Amino acid sequence: MPTKAVIISIGDEILYGQTLDTNAHWISGELNKAGIQVEKRYTIGDRREEILSTLKEAEERAKIILITGGLGPTSDDLTKPCLLEYFDTYLVRNESVLNHIIELFTTRGREVTEVNKAQADIPANGKAVPNILGTAPGVWIEENGKVFVSMPGVPYEMQQMMTDTVIPQLREKYVKGELLHRMIRTIGIPESALANMIREWETNLPKAIKLAYLPTKGSVKLRLTAKREDEDHFQTQKLIQEEINKVLPTIEKYVYGFDDEEIEEAIGRMLLESKMSLSTAESCTGGYLSHKITSVPGSSQWYEGGFIPYSNKFKNEQLRVPLEMLEEHGAVSKPVVLVLAENVRKAFNTSIGVSISGIAGPTGGTEEKPVGTVWIGYSDQRKTVAKKFLFTKDRLINIHYTAMAALDMIRINLTKD
Amino acid sequence: MPTKAVIISIGDEILYGQTLDTNAHWISGELNKAGIQVEKRYTIGDRREEILSTLKEAEERAKIILITGGLGPTSDDLTKPCLLEYFDTYLVRNESVLNHIIELFTTRGREVTEVNKAQADIPANGKAVPNILGTAPGVWIEENGKVFVSMPGVPYEMQQMMTDTVIPQLREKYVKGELLHRMIRTIGIPESALANMIREWETNLPKAIKLAYLPTKGSVKLRLTAKREDEDHFQTQKLIQEEINKVLPTIEKYVYGFDDEEIEEAIGRMLLESKMSLSTAESCTGGYLSHKITSVPGSSQWYEGGFIPYSNKFKNEQLRVPLEMLEEHGAVSKPVVLVLAENVRKAFNTSIGVSISGIAGPTGGTEEKPVGTVWIGYSDQRKTVAKKFLFTKDRLINIHYTAMAALDMIRINLTKD
């Protein structure tokens, strides 16, 4: 069993929804990597009773209690007074911390007030955790076989303290065994259909491996987790890989990558490997597809550029879609996306051209072509094809789904080649 | 005393630090706006005992318990089974939810499996909260004078359910007196500078009005909140409006709109009012600016379209930037964005043309032009101008800040006219 930790985030601004708590998220990831299991997270306000009762709850639940926030110099910062009350102890001024604070203020040309000096006061039963980047030190307290660490809420100060001091000391003290994760990333199949498809494999998974479905808009990730005990790192990796190999043939056509790779990164990798290039002509997505593609560092190596022919005039003048075609079939039609895909490919002289035309909504739908109707075109040297989709009534979701479907269409055609 | 709520986020992927919990943050903000006080937030994993004990803790602490996550159709989704156990009840299939699921699948041309149908099963002591955008309905349970609401973890599904059903019903039930909010939206000024600028006004605000600074990337919103008791609606509105009128002259040049209006909506409104049109040529933002512009419904009324001239070849061939200019000054330069802005305006025959060229990073920087260097060009019938920016080392943040700065540049020039 890995050692358990809980995280307590303190701050009214978090509970009011004004500050997004990225600290607890960051700490969770770091503890997980270090092989410490986060059991529960609490977010509470700057209130004495709440802090005290949550310390009690936390202590009953885990060996390690990490606290962020409420360590500033002002009267609404209650973490230190509460620690004193909780452990029935008193403050002792820490000389080394005091010197650090005085140095920090004098190099910035500011006067050191009594309030600033008081930040060097540490509970008598604990020790200071150095805060190189700020004035409020962390506090490390060991009592009844538990470790309490209190850190400032300023993200970069907390991260430096965690990385340099807290994580190394926790690892040394508590970590036997480590959690290993692998991720299989799929696209173009809903969670429930995927679950049906792999039910037998899932049922027969070794007990040491835990499976999780992580759905996001247009994509479902399968996460396999196993715990490594002692020096068995390689064995555990092998165990997970064997299970991945078993399930892959069943779902291969939906798998675009593994672990951290997003679909737009996978497309980039595939294009780069096959020395191919891409251009886009997108109407209803208005640049979102090219934004996804160019969010990947280095994308200028495979992406030449794109048109956003929002008006029919532009579709005709810049991409030579015949006016009669636009009139006869409408802009959201198979013939139009076929011409767009082929002509954008030729205009940029790229291996692949992709085109999009649809009705994002909320207005503009007809009975024949309701909101959410989208045509996507794909053209390479050998063929030009198109596919029709029907998404939702919501404009932003349609834009997102369409871009994902276009990326998937590129992937499928690249895989076929 | 406002009614108290707790929020429970369920999901191993959150505790593992793989998914940032934006749900609890979003819900906190919405409850706060509605006049309900968030007392505590819990984040827990997909484990039966933990879910059950946290439900107990939560019930002891607040009147309203909001739960997200763990509602999917697969075996690792434990929220519904735990609710059954907690309330000692059983499932009843909800016909209206079942019809919604069947409709959703058939319009998408997919088969409805038994697993999908089971999502229409609702605890017998509760009622379904419609999920227009997905298959898993929410569950609303009232027991012992408390309200438990369980919602899916998919952010846009949860948000739709909260906005359309949960918040209105909670308000009706629990909020006496109504909170009135007004928002002043600023761009182009950091929070601390804004706070300095309006300090005197803030100090003299009437006690009935609460001020909050809500900073997001590239924009700071000022929220003024007052509680209306009984029929005093008009008086309270007037009180807030008077304070807005007092502060506006001081910060006017940074204010782009009020309440829910995003900067891209404000631009759309201004262009529509002045019967002007817009086109874009964006290199380093790769379509993100046009995506922001076209995320606004009806944007085809003022946006003609754009180019994404990612390669120099395209800048030259399609937008006639002289090759010598590209060679002499580089693509990220004042002369190049001036030509791009003017030529995109002429190509689309629009009132305004906007151009962007920059180094988004992480690579491609030089000593003279480090990562984060961006030139933005603006052209209308009367003038063509350009401005240089230096943002961060982070690719995605640079893309975001650049689009915001381009929108701000359009706003400033539209305001001048």
CATH number, residue A293 = 3.90.950.20
> Do the beta carbons of residue A344 and residue A280 sit within 8 Å?
yes
Closest alpha carbon within chain B to A218: B154
- Whose structure tokens read 């692998």? A182
| C-alpha span between A131 and A162 (Å, rounded) | 10
Nearest C-alpha of chain B: how many angstroms from A15? 6
For residue range A34-57, list pLDDT tens digits in order: 889 999 999 999 899 999 999 999
Does residue A41 sit within a domain? yes
| C-alpha span between B185 and B182 (Å, rounded) | 10
> Six-digit token pair at A202?
């899932």
CA dist list (Å): B57 to A285, B89, B173: 46, 20, 23
Does residue A264 sit within a domain? no
Domain boundary among A258, A288, A311: A258
> Do the beta carbons of residue B251 and residue B191 sit within 8 Å?
no
Cβ atoms < 10 Å from Cβ of B269: 15
Does residue A329 sit within a domain? yes
Same domain, A198 and A158: no
Biggest alpha carbon–alpha carbon distance for chain B: 78
Same domain, A56 and A146: yes
Confidence of residue A229 (pLDDT cuts 50, 70, 90): low
**Does the structure show a pLDDT above 80 at B282?**
yes
Closest alpha carbon within chain B to A183: B18
> Do the beta carbons of residue A289 and residue A406 sit within 8 Å?
yes
Closest alpha carbon within chain B to A179: B16
The runs of H, that is alpha helices, within B5-144 are 12-15, 22-34, 48-61, 79-87, 95-107, 114-117
Nearest C-alpha of chain A: how many angstroms from B35? 11
More confident residue, A378 or B230: A378
Name the residue among A122, A246, A123 with its Cα closest to residue A182: A246
Contacts of A410 (CB under 8 A, 6+ apart): A267, A278, A352, A354, A378
Overall average pLDDT of the B302-319 stretch = 92
> Do the beta carbons of residue B287 and residue B261 sit within 8 Å?
no
| C-alpha span between A366 and A401 (Å, rounded) | 20
CATH number at residue A253: 3.30.70.2860
For residue range B71-113, list pLDDT tens digits in order: 877 767 899 999 999 999 999 999 999 999 999 888 878 888 8
CATH number at residue A66: 3.40.980.10
Overall average pLDDT of the A177-199 stretch = 88
> Do the beta carbons of residue B389 and residue B404 sit within 8 Å?
no
Antiparallel, parallel or unpaired: β A384-390 and A373-379: antiparallel
**Does the structure show a pLDDT above 60 at A375?**
yes
Cβ-based burial of B156 (10 A; exposed 0-12, middle 13-18, buried ≥19): middle
**Does the structure show a pLDDT above 80 at B256?**
yes
Most A CBs within 10 A among B40, B44, B350, B359, hence the mutation to make, goes to B40
Most B CBs within 10 A among A40, A278, A279, A320, hence the mutation to make, goes to A40
> Six-digit token pair at A72?
């500033």
DSSP A28-60: HHHHHHHT-EEEEEEEE-S-HHHHHHHHHHHHH
Residue B352's pLDDT is: 98
Does residue B265 sit within a domain? no
Least confident piece of the model among A67-71, A97-101, A226-230, B168-172: A226-230
Q: Mean pLDDT across chain B, nearest whole number?
A: 92
Q: Provide the 8-state DSSP code for B76.
A: T
The residues with which A213 forms a beta bridge, in sequence order, are: A222
Buried residues in A135-169 as b, exposed as e (16+ CB within 10 A) = bbbbbbbeeeeebbbbbbbbeebbbbbbeebbbee
Nearest C-alpha of chain B: how many angstroms from A123? 26
Same domain, B164 and B55: yes
Same domain, A41 and A187: no
Same domain, B352 and B298: yes
Domain count within chain A: 3
Same domain, A53 and A155: yes
- Whose structure tokens read 């439900």? B55
For residue range B385-417, list pLDDT tens digits in order: 999 999 888 898 899 999 999 999 999 999 875
Name the residue among A56, A12, A11, A6 with its Cα closest to residue A36: A6
Q: Compare CB distances from A294 to B17, B286, B313 and report the shortest one's residue.
A: B286
Does residue B237 sit within a domain? yes
Phi, psi of B315 (to 5 degrees): -55, -40
Nearest C-alpha of chain A: how many angstroms from B396? 7
Share above pLDDT 70 across residues of chain A, in percent, rounded to a whole number: 96
Domain boundary among B258, B283, B310: B258
> Six-digit token pair at A88?
């029935």
Phi, psi of B130 (to 5 degrees): -60, 140
Does residue B269 sit within a domain? no
Q: Which residues of B touch A22 (CB under 8 A)?
A: 20
CA dist list (Å): A295 to A159, A183, A289, A298, B8: 26, 21, 10, 9, 33
**Does the structure show a pLDDT above 80 at B228?**
no
Does residue A312 sit within a domain? yes
For residue range A231-279, list pLDDT tens digits in order: 566 788 899 999 999 999 999 999 999 998 999 999 999 999 999 999 9
Residue B232's pLDDT is: 67
The runs of H, that is alpha helices, within A213-306 are 233-251, 263-273, 288-294
**Does the structure show a pLDDT above 80 at B10?**
yes
**Does the structure show a pLDDT above 90 at B213?**
no
Overall average pLDDT of the B288-317 stretch = 95
Same domain, B199 and B141: no
| Yes or no, beta carbons of A17 and B31 under 8 Å apart | yes
Same domain, B163 and B71: yes
> Six-digit token pair at A304?
């030449």
Same domain, A163 and A186: no
ipTM of predicted assembly, 2 dp: 0.80
Same domain, A20 and A167: yes
For residue range B143-158, list pLDDT tens digits in order: 989 999 999 998 989 9
Confidence of residue B229 (pLDDT cuts 50, 70, 90): low
Same domain, B288 and B371: yes
- Model's pTM, two decimal places? 0.79
Residue B127's pLDDT is: 96
Does residue B267 sit within a domain? no
Same domain, B227 and B368: no
**Does the structure show a pLDDT above 80 at A179?**
no
Nearest C-alpha of chain A: how many angstroms from B60? 13
> Six-digit token pair at A214?
């992580």
> Do the beta carbons of residue A135 and residue A104 sit within 8 Å?
yes
CA dist list (Å): A213 to A185, A190, A191, A224, B74: 10, 11, 7, 9, 8
User: What radius of gyration, in Å, describes the C-alpha atoms of chain B?
Assistant: 26
Residue B85 belongs to domain spanning: 3-174
| Yes or no, beta carbons of B29 and A18 under 8 Å apart | yes
Domain boundary among B258, B284, B315: B258
**Does the structure show a pLDDT above 90 at B260?**
no
Cβ-based burial of A22 (10 A; exposed 0-12, middle 13-18, buried ≥19): middle
Closest alpha carbon within chain B to A210: B76
Cβ-based burial of A341 (10 A; exposed 0-12, middle 13-18, buried ≥19): buried
